[in-house]
Every structure is written in structure tokens, then in C-alpha cells.
Amino acid sequence: MFYYVGIDLGGTNTKIGILDIEGNIYENTSIKTLSANGAQKTLERIWGTAKEIAQKSSVDIKNIKGIGIGIPGPVINQSVVAFFANFPWGQNVNIKEMMEKISGIETKLDNDVNIIALGEAKFGAAKGSKASVTIALGTGIGGGIYVDGHLISGFTGAGGEVGHMKLVMNGRLCGCGQRGCFEAYASATGLVREATSRLIVNKNNLLYEKINGKLDILEAKHIFDAAKEGDKFSLDLVDYEAEYLAMGIGNILNIINPEIIVLSGGVALAGDILINPLKEKLKKYALPVVTKDIKFVQGILGNQAGIKGSIGLFI
């Protein structure tokens, strides 16, 4: 029997697992990334840990057939990282080659959100579907597009960057420096931003009570919780969120026409209070032919999406 090492390289922590080709995890752990030590040293330490946990689960290194890595940044041809979102590791770094020299084992990589999408498509909430789009709704909005067995990773490694699709010409400033991005409106940050701006002029609501008037502690979860308790002010914010989410997802449906949309990340946890109006509003933003059979599901792989998804690169 053959095994694979799945690696979810993160800004702070890196998850490492020993898996089989069906995505079953035999052993896994998490270590500090300590990226300041550079790419070479960091990969060496990760490989060292991988060997340790392989031993722990009685897996012979000779039976490890591949190493899959999810990377925070654009990845070209499952090999070269154009740039790293958080690390000072330079540009156009051939991580595949570096890891293969260290380990002697075939290595493949892709962008971390693409890897999550691949995980949900191969082993998770979209398993069995020919075409799925996974949208990670958190601090930002990321995406991964899976069609006919493969990720659309993009010519320069930036396929699926749906968060920077523009919804408003000359709209709200986004963290990327451009204006009117999907992410600037419908991410958790976008929602908190809108809520904060409204709370400054309207304090007579349950949401304001819940945070004891401390605007700096406001999170998306507070808004959904207050909405679930019937707070009109918060329900209006959920409507705002659903509207921009429908416009952004509607555009994705018109362009890709997938079978299923997987929502992951904090905002997706809101559940029906958000998904129901989203589905209703979608009818304004996408053609009937792409909305009539569309399925919405929540991602199910959670913290394991990264290490599982990276194994998907070998299927």
C-alpha cells in the first residue's frame, strides 16, 4: 500500500499529515512555520516532521509516493510559487524542485484555497460532482474552481481569485489596493465594515447591545447571532451580505456554470438565515439555466481540507 504526505503551509502554523490516496489520514500534526528561517530550512524541518509522523504510524518512507503542498500564493504548473502572500521567500521559487531534492519524493503544489477546493471536490462536500466552485468566505474571499477532475489553477497561478472580481465600478477600496472588489463587500471584513459604519449612526439595536458598544470587537458572528434573535438592524445587514454574495456568486455561475457551490469559512457558518435569501436573490443575478439545478453546500473538511486536498493533486 502507498501513502502520501499532505502539507498545508500556513503563515503561522503548518499542518502535516500521512494519508492514503482516498484521503484517509493515518497521522497528522501541526508545527510552527517559522518562515523567517527561509524556504530551504523550513521545508527541511517540515520533511523531518513528516518522517517522524510516518514512523509513528508505521509507514515506511519507501511507500510514500508523493508530497502535496498547499501554498499561500499563486502557484504556476503545480511547481513554481510566483510570490508568497506572507513570507519573505522571494519570487518565482521552484518549491517542487526544492522539496524533491530534500525528500527524494515527487512533489506537487497549488494555491492553498485551490487545494481546499480540490479537497472538497475529491473527498468532501462536492465529492462526485463533475464541476464545483468552492468559495472561502472569511477575512477575505478566496475561491477554487474544479472542472472535470482538475483545478483551474490559471496561467500565472491565480485562477479562482474570485474575491477580486469587481462588483462596483469605482466602489469601496479593497485590501488589494483596487476598488469595488467582491471581497470588499461580502467577506466577513466587508460585512463588519458595513455594520460599523451603520452602528456609528444607529445605536438603538440588539447588535450594539451585544458588543456593549465596543465597535472594535465586532465580528460577523455577532451580526448573524443578533439577526437570528430577530434584530431588524442585523437582519438588514444580513440582507446586504446576501445581496452582494448573490451578485458575486451569480457572476461565477454565469461564467463557470458549475453543478455545486461549496461555501466555507466563517461567514458560511451563518447557515439558512444567509443561504435562503442568497438563493432567492440569485434569480436576479444569474440566468435561469445556471441557477435552476444549482446546489449549495457547506464545506465539510474544515481544518483538514488543506492536507486532504493536497493529496488530490495525485489523483
Report the DSSP beta bridge partners of residue 299. Answer: none
Q: What are the C-alpha distances in Å from 104 to residues 61, 64, 70, 93, 99?
A: 10, 10, 19, 18, 8
| Residue 68 to residues 25, 44, 149, 156, 193, Cα–Cα distance (Å) | 14, 15, 16, 19, 36
Q: How far is the CB of 157 from its own copies (least distance, A)?
A: 7
Q: C-alpha angle 1/14/51, rounded to 5°?
A: 40
Nearer Cβ to its own copies (179/221): 179
- Pick the closer one to its own copies by CB: 227 or 282: 282
Of 21, 53, 102, 131, which lies in the binding site for its own copies, with binding defined by CB under 8 A? 131
Range in contact with its own copies (rule: CB under 8 A) among 43-51, 53-61, 164-172, 201-209 = 164-172
Q: Which of 119, 159, 277, 309 binds its own copies (CB under 8 A)?
A: 159
User: How does strand 3-9 pair with strand 13-19?
Assistant: antiparallel
34 vs 289, beta carbon nearer its own copies? 289
* Residue span binding its own copies (CB under 8 A) among the ranges 22-30, 43-51, 168-176, 298-306: 168-176
Q: How many residues interact with its own copies (rule CB under 8 A)?
A: 49
User: What's the rounded Cα separation, in Å, for the pair 187 and 263?
Assistant: 12
Contact 56, 92 (CB under 8 A): no
User: Among the candidate windows 92-100, 218-226, 279-287, 305-313, which touches its own copies by CB under 8 A?
Assistant: 279-287
CB of 123 to its own copies, least distance (A): 20
Q: Which of 41, 56, 130, 203 is close enough to bind its own copies by CB under 8 A?
A: 130
Touching its own copies, residues 247-266 (CB under 8 A): 247, 250-252, 254-259
Q: Name the DSSP class of 162.
A: G
Contacting its own copies within 5-64 (CB under 8 A): none
Instruction: List the grid coordinates of 56.
Output: 509513528
Q: Which stretch binds its own copies (CB under 8 A): 22-30, 34-42, 152-160, 219-227?
A: 152-160
Residues of the chain by 3-state class (helix, strand, coil), percent to 5: 45, 25, 30
Residue type, 62: K
Residues 280-299 touching its own copies, rule: CB under 8 A, are 284-287, 289-290, 292-293
Q: What would the grid cell of residue 133 be?
A: 466552485
Tell me which amino acid residue 128 is: G
- Amino acid in the structure at residue 252: I
**Hey, what amino acid is at 148?**
D
Task: Choose between 16 and 136: whose C-beta lies nearer to its own copies.
Answer: 136
**Cα(263)–Cα(275) distance, rounded to whole angstroms?**
10
Please say which residue, 47 or 185, places its beta carbon nearer to its own copies: 185
Q: How far is the CB of 142 from its own copies (least distance, A)?
A: 12
Give yes or no for residue 242 binding its own copies (CB under 8 A): no
CB of 215 to its own copies, least distance (A): 27
H helix runs in the chain, sequence order: 39-56, 95-103, 112-122, 182-186, 188-199, 206-210, 220-228, 232-256, 272-285, 288-291, 305-312
Closer Cβ to its own copies, 46 or 121, answer by number = 121
Q: Please give the DSSP secondary-structure letter assigned to residue 1.
A: -
Residue 212 CA to residue 110 CA, distance in Å, equals: 43
Footprint of its own copies on this chain (CB under 8 A)? 74, 82-83, 130-131, 143, 145, 147-148, 150, 152-162, 164-169, 176, 178-179, 243, 247, 250-252, 254-259, 284-287, 289-290, 292-293
